Structure 1
Amino acid sequence: MGLGRGLAIGTLAVGLLVTSETPALAGNGPAYKDSWRPVKVRVADLLGRMSLDDKLGQMMQAERLGVKSPADVTTGRLGSLLSGGSSQPTPNTPVTWADMYDGFQKAALATPLGIPLVYGVDAVHGHNGVYGATVFPHNIGLGASRDPRLVQKIGRATAEEVSGTGIDWDFAPCLCVARNDRWGRTYESFGEVPQLATEMSTVITGLQGTRLDQPGSVMATAKHYVGDGGTTGGVNEGNTEISEQELRAVHLPPFKAAVDRGVGSVMISYSSWNGVKMHAGSYLINDVLKKELGFKGIVVSDYNGVDKIDGKTGFTPEEVEASINAGIDMVMVPYNWQTFIDTLRTLVQQGRVPLSRIDDANRRILTKKFELGLFEHPLTDRRFLKTIGSKDHRDLALQAVRESQVLLKNDHHVLPLLKHGKIFVAGKNADDMGNQSGGWTVGWQGTSGPVIPGTTILQGIRSSSSKVTYAKDGTGIDQSYDVAVAVVGETPYAETKGDRPQGMGLDDTDLATLQKLKDSGVPTVVVLVSGRPLDIAAQVGDWAGLVESWLPGSEGAGVADVLFGDYNPTGKLPVTWMRSAGQQPINVGDGRPALFPFGYGLHYSRHW
């Protein structure tokens, strides 16, 4: 196709007056390849050149393990790939990631129109899938910090590390408002009130920068739209049974804030609203998100989200029709993307999905690809490799850990710890990087053990005092110690597996360790490493001190900085702390008595 037709398409599409002095229309190639032209002109020109197969391919996001080779990207005209939570290249190094990305990107550029891929990952607390990356506290800890500026800096640091591996698209932040702490994604929430998620939407600005095509900027994703934190019983992928008034008052505001910040994409929730799956929820997507809120970016499904509409395995034509017509622009179909393309093609040919809907989805997708600068700079910007796990980023994570600690109890000023005191440390989470990092850490559900480099809480304590004895199960403690520090709580999990419909208390291992410390008579400070409040009312009376550490990530020394008073605790509870699991859901304003109320957090009052 010659330049003349390209000009005509671009001009007619946006109604531009073309003159010889219009620099945007200079050049001799196709209009969409001319970086001087306005994005709308480039999109219109490219869309006019695309076949139906080109357009359907752009709407597919496959798991990189779901393509047999990069050649599948070329033949399928795929618009996007993702690495799921446990989809890392081997070996898992930043350079291997960059090489993998570039290989797939070159395959996309080999298509007739040379449309680049956009590649997504769940970098939800740093570039957490990459070994050696800086792992920041999970969102619930950042909510406790009440520090939007810090969160914006974390967004920027994450974007730089993501960019160093080539990735353009981050499936973060989670802007859910967690209303029932039984939910396994509670730690991905900034807190139980919409104001917290709204304030912390600064992370979007950090991720995206002032322009998406700036070096070190990546596209952010507001997820999961909408109401996923309000399901009955805190059941993951469950049913949010509330009025539209409550949905708008509690769950919608953070998404409005995200749209106002120019967030590039919005991911749809697996959950339902009053029995209607969000992936088929045309009113909330088309009418509220796109029209009322004015969202112009990409609406993306969750992983196999369309397949879950009817509750049966395997997507049907009815599910595909419902989801695309409901306003989903890009579909995350990890493995069966070819079947999805074939199904959608048939639906378009039958008139069940209008071609105008396909074109609208492609305009949104292509607009972001142009805005990201992918047509000009499709390959990895390897200048950012050096930022991955850098000292500057780890120092930022260290500060985030300090600011996220919440001091809940401090009888007789047992804290801060005396650096010359004799300290006994116990607990399964004291010296375990995986436990303190939680889910979404080099693996979807996370893993206990030395899964990433960093500093454990025990290592941080030992760097602050030379009189430290450690026994994981508490064996060996006696009256000679001034204080015991028990680092206990949860082990890693992510959604569904992390749901706790039954009890929410400490496990038998923790209870046995705490009993040994109690029997010794030594004052005990408990450090809880957890993704949510735990049911501790029966034990908290035995403890002299209590610090909620959340899931601090790779820089455990920040916990020690607070324990020893090098940093006066400033964290405030982003959730209401239940008196018992039977109180769930319990939230600020519902008039129910809490063990510790929303916003609670002590400081050290004396000098030392």
Structure 2
Amino acid sequence: MKLLKTALGIAVGGAMFTLMGMQSKSPEMPPKDKTDQKVEKLLKKMTLEEKVGQMTQVTLEVISVGEGTAVASPHQLDEEKMRKMIVDYKVGSILNCAGMPHSKERWNEMISKMQEMATKQTRLGIPIIYGIDAIHGTNYTTGSTLFPQQVGLAATWNTELVEQAAELCAYETRASSIPWNFSPVLDLGIDPRWPRQWEGFGEDPYLSSEMGVAMVKGFEGDQLDKYHVASCLKHYIGYGAPQSGKDRTPAWIPERMMYELFVPAFKKAIDAGSRTIMINSGEVNGVPVHASHKLLTTLLRDELGFEGVAVTDWYDIWNLVERHHVAKDKKEAVKLAVLAGVDMSMVPYDVEFADLLIELVKEGTITEERIDLSVRRILKLKYELGLFENPVTNLADYKDFGSDKFIGIAKDAATESITLLKNNKNVLPLNKTAKVLVTGPNANSMRTLNGGWSYTWQGDRTDEFAKDKQTVLEAIQAKIGTENVLFEQGVQYVAGADYKTDEIVDINAVLDAADKADVILLCLGENSYTEKPGDLNDLTLSSNQIRLAQAAASTGTPVVLLLNEGRPRIINGFEGEMDAILQAFLPGNEGGVAIADILFGDANPSGKLPYTYPRNVNDLVPYYHKFSENLAHNDGNEYTDPFFNPQYEFGFGLSYTTFEYSDLKLAQKEINKNGELEVSIKLTNTGNREGKEVVQLYTTDLVASITPSVKRLKAFQKVALKAGESKTVTFSIPAKDLSFIGLENKPVLEEGTFKVTVGNLTEEFELVNSL
């Protein structure tokens, strides 16, 4: 691929970007197919106002009954406001849920009214495109199927299951007459302080790439029929690595590292056919991405080959004025963003964007040819989604919405995501006759099982809308009987600690109940959050929960710690006192049942960590660190501990059975730069029950011109084996996958010795120029 030769971003003069001469021109080429021909025919009929309207996206709030952004309850559409937006300003897109979930019937009713107005009361009858953040199922439609959040899906290491989950999400989103899903998140979760880490697929570029491709395939299918949606890759690019660890704060990413770590997942998802992309709200190397021609045009269009629609994130063109201070006013901000490469503005509260863009075109600052580029992309997306023929879907076509079949797949995903991190003396699985004390703030909460973007933005009303689902406590009671879930005087649940007060509720009650229990199930973690409300100043688990854990451990009763959290919170202060630890991540509505199945042995855990679980707050180092971060001094000087010493490593996860790796073989000990590395290994289930193991293949470049990582993930397979069964697992790694981004910011494939690691086995091979 053609690579940048200059620094990412654009030059800054004073408080403003210099963008003169950066406008793209309409491609001088004939339409490719019938859809392109339809687009061109329609485009020629459009006025400037109609074109700019297509580039404008507003939120549902602005066409709803209410004052300002405050929406009346129960929710109603405001006919006059809707007419202003759709008829007068010809807006091309509407998004969001107005702060509350709706039934699929209500969604169809609302969107039918919007589409009726757009197609019947405007000159050209162009349908709107409705977009929603359906990030773990159709989470703004009541009665839908909610899956694990993406970090949990990554922990399954099962791309087929992830593709299936995305396909079912697309089905239920289309049932709601919504054809555009702002998912998947491909931000690299390299910093656990970042409050959106759980929305992505973890810290590894390869795992993120494979999961992202699976999700795009699931959403979009082979074609965009009535059961599939347009996917939206977000948040392009570098959003997940803010220097402060806090949301929407600056990232400093050397260009070489941008290509090495952050580009691959977006590149693969683009190649897989994703039709839209959402822009990073933050800034990279001092340049807001919404104003970066280098990132939005040179890299995204020219190098990565993206041909679809680039939509802003919420309010982010105005943030060029208000947050970033690179534009003197809103008009300057519109100029910067559109010339950088924005196609559609998620304004989202007004139509000033449209007015200002029209002014910029009429005064000659932005050409109409530049507008045409964006409108072509938007119209093509609408044609491909079939919106001109069927702007609203038929509810009768979606009989499987919320079905037992869909719920079963969500449960499978939750079960495969749950990761067993510790199991001293095989305390798990528990006997169904055991007396279990269930305690902790996450034990009786659907909110904490689902996390943010669940029915509401912050997920704060999930217990209300998911009241027919089982919390961890309720699932355990259903599994072993209420009489076996103990607490004094017949009470079955002890909160122990509470998020509302951030205090111990009744620690003495926990201590008293422990005397009657065979085991304590301690349910700790985080409450729901996302974006800025999830910022924190200390990655350590909250002090009230640590006190509760220490109190539980002091009883002498075995303690099983259930972690239910969106990012790895530091547990080093009490981890050694826990007998077993399960990481549940954010498993969704079926998480309680899946957890109970694993606790009592009706399912065997098979999840693996998609990130490095840090031991200390200042040890936030990913697994692909450098050799200099891995070693300690052994000569009696002050450095005696390893520099890389996580609580749990990336890819780690235990099972109730055991697996043995043997017979690691390389088909060749030498491969050339155009060849492939053929690897095989024998995997045997040496335990007494069926289980699934993720076979992970890592390579290490032992000497390179850029300091190499200790190891990098290059392939994986999830394998199911019955007790005593063996299988030979094979991998084929193209030599080009051993390359890295060199000093000139280009891929480099160097000759030399490499190491392959699979399980506890390693082999070396030579990469040569020719054989």
Given the two structures, how large is their TM-score scaled by the length of structure 1?
Answer: 0.91
Alpha carbons of structure 1 residues 49 and 538: separation in structure 2 relative to 1, 3 Å: same
Partner of residue 239, structure 1: 250
Q: CA deviation at 1:520?
A: 2.3
Aligned-pair CA distance for 1:126: 0.6
1:229 and 2:240 are equivalent in the alignment? yes
Work out whether residues 437 and 514 of structure 2, in 8 Å CA contact, stay in contact via their aligned partners in 1.
Answer: no
User: Take 1:155 and 1:389, find their aligned partners in 2: how far apart are those partners?
Assistant: 14
Q: Distance in 2 between matches of 1:455 and 1:180?
A: 32
Displacement of 1:379 after TM fit?
1.4
SS for the counterpart of 2:386 is coil
Distance in 2 (CA, whole Å) between partners of 1:297 and 1:15 is 15
Aligned to 2:100: 88
The alignment partner of 2:522 has SS state of: strand
What is aligned with 1:56?
Answer: 52
Distance in 2, matches of 1:510 and 1:112, equals 61
Cα distance in 1 between the residues matched to 2:369 and 2:99: 35
SS at match of 1:409: strand
1:507 is the counterpart of 2:530: no
The residue that corresponds to 2:343 in the other structure is 329
Q: Which residue of structure 1 lines up, in the alignment, with residue 647 of structure 2? A: 595
Q: Displacement, 1:463?
A: 2.4
Q: CA deviation at 1:345?
A: 0.5
Instruction: Please give the alpha-carbon distance, in whole angstroms, between the structure 2 residues aligned to 1:409 and 1:218.
Output: 40
Larger radius of gyration: 2
Alignment-derived partner of residue 472 in structure 2 = 457
SS of 1:393 mapped into structure 2 = helix
Task: Give the secondary-structure state (helix, strand or coil) at the position aligned to 1:525.
Answer: strand
| Counterpart position of 2:578 | 543
Q: Secondary structure at the match of 1:237?
A: coil
Aligned residue for 2:130, secondary structure, equals strand
In the alignment, the residues of structure 1 paired with residue 411 and residue 176 of structure 2 have an alpha-carbon distance, to the nearest angstrom, of 23
Distance of 1:38 and 1:221 partners within structure 2? 24
Q: 1:31 corresponds to which residue?
A: none
| Cα offsets for 1:552-581 (capped at 9, x unmatched) | 110020111111122211111111111111
Partner of residue 395 from structure 1, selected from 390, 408, 428: 408
The structure where strand makes up a greater share of residues is 2
Please say if 1:489 is aligned against 2:486: no
Deviation (angstroms), 1:315? 5.6
Per the TM alignment, residue 388 of structure 1 is displaced from its structure 2 partner at its CA by 3.2
Structure 1 counterpart of 2:476, one-letter code = I
CA offset digits 1:205-243 (Å, max 9, x no partner): 11111111x121111000000011122122211222121
The reply on whether 1:200 has 2:211 as its aligned counterpart is yes
Aligned twin of 2:562: 527
Partner of 1:563: 599
1:78 counterpart (91, 94, 97): 91
Alignment of 1:406-425 (within 5 A): 406-425=419-438
Point out where structure 1 has 5 or more consecutive residues left out of the alignment.
Answer: 1-11, 17-36
Q: Which amino acid in 1 is paired with 2:343?
A: D
The structure with higher relative contact order (CA 8 Å, sep 6+) is 1
Report the residue type matching 2:234 in the other structure.
K
3-state SS of the aligned residue for 2:420?
Answer: strand
Bigger Cα displacement from structure 2, 278-287 vs 581-590: 581-590
Q: CA deviation at 1:456?
A: 1.3
Letter paired with 2:443:
A
Summarize deviations over 1:60-101 as a string: whole Å, max 9, x none.
Answer: 0100112353312122111000015x5336xx3221111111
Structure 1: which amino acid aligns with 2:116?
K
| 1: CA distance, partners of 2:494 / 2:258 | 48
By how many angstroms is 1:383 displaced? Answer: 2.7
Distance 1:207 1:449 in 2: 24
Conserved? CA contact 2:612–2:621, under 8 Å: no
Q: State the secondary structure of the residue aligned to 1:424.
A: strand
User: Please, which of 27, 32, 41 is the counterpart of residue 45 of structure 1?
Assistant: 41
Q: Distance in 2 between matches of 1:552 and 1:519?
A: 30
> Deviation digits for residues 380-439 of structure 1, max 9, x if unmatched?
231355433221111111001111111111111110111121111111111100111111
Q: Distance in 2 between matches of 1:449 and 1:242?
A: 37
1:429 partner letter:
N
Aligned AA (1:102) = S
- The aligned residue for residue 174 of structure 1 is 185
Counterpart in 2 of 1:445?
458
Distance 1:217 1:15, change over 3 A: closer
Q: Distance in 2 between matches of 1:478 and 1:455?
A: 24
Which one is further off, 446-455 or 375-384?
Answer: 446-455
In structure 2, the partner of 1:101 is 111
Q: Distance in 1 between matches of 2:524 and 2:181?
A: 31
Q: Which of 488, 495, 512 is the aligned partner of 1:472?
A: 495
1:514, distance to aligned residue in structure 2 (A): 2.3
CA-CA distance at 1:15 after TM superposition: 7.0
Gaps of 5+ in 2: 1-27, 64-77, 487-492, 497-508, 631-643, 658-686, 690-771
Separation in 1 of the partners of 2:247 and 2:655?
A: 35
Paired residue for 1:30?
none
Distance (whole Å) between structure 2 residues aligned to residue 601 and residue 292 of structure 1: 38
Contact 1:170 1:221 survives alignment (8 Å):
yes
Matching residue of 1:316: 330
**Alignment partner of 1:143 is 2:154:** yes
Task: Deviation per CA, 1:81-131: give whole Å up to 9, x if none.
Answer: 0015x5336xx3221111111111111112110000100000011111122
8 Å CA contact 1:164, 1:387 repeated in 2:
no
Q: Secondary structure at the match of 1:309?
A: helix
Q: Give the RMSD, CA atoms, in angstroms.
A: 1.8
Question: Which residue does the alignment assign to 2:17?
Answer: none
Identical residues among aligned pairs (%)? 35
Q: Do the aligned residues in 1 keep the contact of 2:455 with 2:461 (CA within 8 Å)?
A: no
In structure 1, how many angstroms separate the alpha carbons of the residues matched to 2:201 and 2:571?
22
Describe the shift of the 1:368–1:252 C-alpha distance in structure 2 as closer, same or farther (beyond 3 A): same
Which structure is higher in helix share? 1
2-structure distance, mates of 1:80, 1:137:
28
Correspondence for 1:364: 377
Cα deviation digits, residues 15-52 of structure 1 (max 9, x gap): 79xxxxxxxxxxxxxxxxxxxx8101100000000000
Letter in 2 for 1:107: M
1:513 Cα shift?
A: 3.0
Aligned position for 1:604: 656
Contact 2:440 2:522 in 1 (8 A): yes
> Which residue number in structure 1 is paired with residue 639 of structure 2?
none
- How far residue 135 of structure 1 moved from its aligned partner, in angstroms, is 1.2
Shift of the 530–256 alpha-carbon distance from structure 1 to 2, 3 Å rule, reads same
Contact 1:573 1:599 in 2 (8 A): yes
Query: What amino acid is the match of 1:468?
Result: V
Deviations 1:283-325 (A, max 9, x none): 1111111111111110000011111123449961111001001
SS of 1:497's partner is helix
Q: Contact 2:197–2:566 (CA<8 Å) still a contact in 1?
A: yes
* Counterparts of 1:299 and 1:105, CA distance in 2: 23
User: What are the Cα deviations for residues 513-541 of structure 1, in whole angstroms up to 9, with x where unaligned?
Assistant: 32442232210001000001111000111
| Paired residue secondary structure (1:159) | helix
**Alpha-carbon contact 1:165-1:385 (below 8 Å) kept:** no
Give the TM-score normalised by the residue count of structure 2. Answer: 0.72
Deviations 1:464-507 (A, max 9, x none): 2122233222634133321110111100100111122x212222
Q: Match of 1:406, as an amino acid? A: T
1:517 pairs with 2:552: yes
Give, in whole Å, the separation in 2 of the partners of 1:15 and 1:295. Answer: 17
Query: By how many angstroms is 1:179 displaced?
Result: 1.0
For the pair 1:119 / 2:136, whether they are aligned, the reply is: no
Q: CA separation of 1:408/1:448 partners in 2, compared to 1, >3 Å: closer, same or farther?
A: farther
